[in-house]
Chains A and B, each alone.
Chain A
Amino acid sequence: GAVVSQHPSWVICKSGTSVKIECRSLDFQATTMFWYRQFPKQSLMLMATSNEGSKATYEQGVEKDKFLINHASLTLSTLTVTSAHPEDSSFYICSARTGTDNQPQHFGDGTRLSIL
């Protein structure tokens, strides 16, 4: 149980394109979803936290107009990287949690984004 599906696994696109990444909880209701970014050989950097039906809370330094997060249902959150540029190339990972912070997070397998 507790499976999180993240799609796509990887994407290569031209500079200026907007890219949407989906994160789905397949067998549980995700009241909270998290989006992370990870550069090579570095730790995960939390970008934003979203609760179903509410606006996402962004971490300091993360542009909300650049990284649009939607959490419209208890099983789906999306991250849209708008007008992507090469510096946005990274590994993006989502996670989902049900209930309170006494519950573990369940992670997707990540999306490798390469902007040419």
Chain B
Amino acid sequence: SQQGEEDPQALSIQEGENATMNCSYKTSINNLQWYRQNSGRGLVHLILIRSNEREKHSGRLRVTLDTSKKSSSLLITASRAADTASYFCATAAKVTFGTGTKLQVIP
């Protein structure tokens, strides 16, 4: 399977705190992508990190990739209530998704 598996399954934090979620995968990859899904909506692409990159930033998002451990992490800094959503990682080619991390940011 080329899907990633996210951890934790659910995370609840206060607004302003940082949120970290992890992703593990099993196969070799060209890149890894993180997506967000608000309830009842499609997914929004957040960030793509290539296999030769170790860290990437986009606004309040920071993604790391450790290909030796086949894992990635997504850090959201200074979280906001609007960040409440489910977050998924996916490996490329045939993009399949794990169960995601459901993040709740409490105002």
Contacts and interface: CB of A to CB of B under 8 A. Distances in A.
Interface residues of B, number: 23
B45 A106 contact: yes
Contacts of B69: none
A109 interface: yes
B40 A93 contact: no
Interface stretch (B18-26, B70-78, B90-98): B90-98
A104 B33 contact: yes
Contacts of B97: 43-44, 46
A44 B30 contact: no
A48 to B, nearest CB: 11
A112 interface: yes
A105 B42 CA distance: 11
A30 B86 CA distance: 25
Nearest to A91: B40
A54 to B, nearest CB: 15
A39 to B, nearest CB: 12
A46 B31 contact: no
A25 B95 CA distance: 18
Of B33, B40, B48, B50, most buried by chain A (CB within 10 Å of CB) is B40
A44 B43 contact: yes
A46 B94 contact: yes
A107 B42 contact: yes
Interface string B30-74: 110101000011111100101000000000000000000000000
Interface of B: 30-31, 33, 35, 40-45, 48, 50, 88, 90, 92-100
Given A43-B88, A109-B42, A112-B40, 7 more contacts: A6-B42, A43-B98, A44-B88, A46-B96, A95-B43, A101-B95, A106-B45
